């Protein structure tokens, strides 16, 4: 039986506050430098859409889709790219936009892949970061909020492809 209830963890207002702060940090660091902002699908699509509207530097956007195979909710480290970017990365400043960093496997995979394409630099921005010890070290330059080890949905994040459209972040309670 799937007896699921949701508890709000981050309200839509707080999310907008977080995005505003992250936008200011990124604007301060990049100023007029052109940026290539890379959205990691699917989970980052809502966050990315809000974040880029806070950025004032000249920018391009592109999208990758990563899938991790393993258990339904825990990234196993077997990450694959199922959709590549269309923009040439060579010599550009990249900003990877992630929904959530848990073990770090997904982001490490993308970081290594994009690094091999010779960008001028890569930084990582994640909306959420879990307090669990990262299994793989990755440099997170911009972090929205650190959360406890709950499974969360909404604002782009899913559980079995559901709940991505919710305007806040919710904790899933399974009975």
The entry of Mg ion, ligand IMP, none that residue 156 binds, CB within 5 to 8 Å by partner kind:
none
Quote the least distance from Cβ 62 to ligand IMP, whole Å: 17
- Please check whether residue 130 is in contact with residue 156, taking contact to mean a CB–CB distance below 8 angstroms: no
Binding residues for Mg ion, rule: CB under 5 A, are 43, 99
Quote the least distance from Cβ 85 to ligand IMP, whole Å: 17
- Is 72 assigned a catalytic role? no
The entry of ligand IMP, Mg ion, none that residue 157 binds, CB within 5 to 8 Å by partner kind:
ligand IMP
Q: Please name the helix (run of DSSP H) or strand (run of DSSP E) that holds residue 124, with its range, or none.
A: strand 121-130
From the list 102, 137, 148, 161, the catalytic residue is 102
- Please check whether residue 121 is in contact with residue 93, taking contact to mean a CB–CB distance below 8 angstroms: yes
Task: Look up tokens 């770090």; give the residue.
Answer: 104
Comparison of 57 and 168: residue with beta carbon closer to ligand IMP? 168
Binding residues for ligand IMP, rule: CB under 6 A, are 43, 68, 75, 98-106, 151-153, 157
- How far is it, in rounded angstroms, from Cα 136 to Cα 141? 15
- Please check whether residue 138 is in contact with residue 106, taking contact to mean a CB–CB distance below 8 angstroms: no
Quote the least distance from Cβ 56 to Mg ion, whole Å: 26
- How far is it, in rounded angstroms, from Cα 70 to Cα 80? 12
Catalytic residue set: 102
């Amino acid at each position: 039986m799937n007896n699921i209830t949701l508890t709000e963890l981050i309200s839509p207002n707080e999310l907008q506050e977080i995005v505003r702060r992250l936008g200011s940090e990124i604007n301060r660091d990049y100023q007029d430098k052109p940026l290539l902002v890379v959205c990691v699908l699917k989970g980052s699509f809502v966050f990315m859409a809000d974040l880029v509207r806070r950025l004032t530097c000249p920018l391009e956007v592109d999208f990758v889709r990563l899938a991790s195979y393993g258990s339904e909710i825990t990234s196993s480290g077997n990450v694959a790219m199922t959709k590549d970017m269309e923009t040439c990365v060579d010599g550009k400043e990249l900003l990877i936009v992630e929904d959530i960093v848990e073990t770090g496997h997904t982001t490490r995979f993308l970081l290594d892949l994009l690094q091999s394409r010779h960008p001028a630099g890569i930084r990582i921005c994640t909306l959420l970061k879990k307090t669990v010890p990262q299994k793989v070290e990755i440099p997170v330059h911009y972090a929205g909020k650190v959360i406890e080890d709950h499974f969360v949905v909404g604002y782009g994040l899913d559980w079995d492809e559901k709940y991505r459209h919710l305007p806040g972040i919710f904790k899933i309670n399974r009975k």
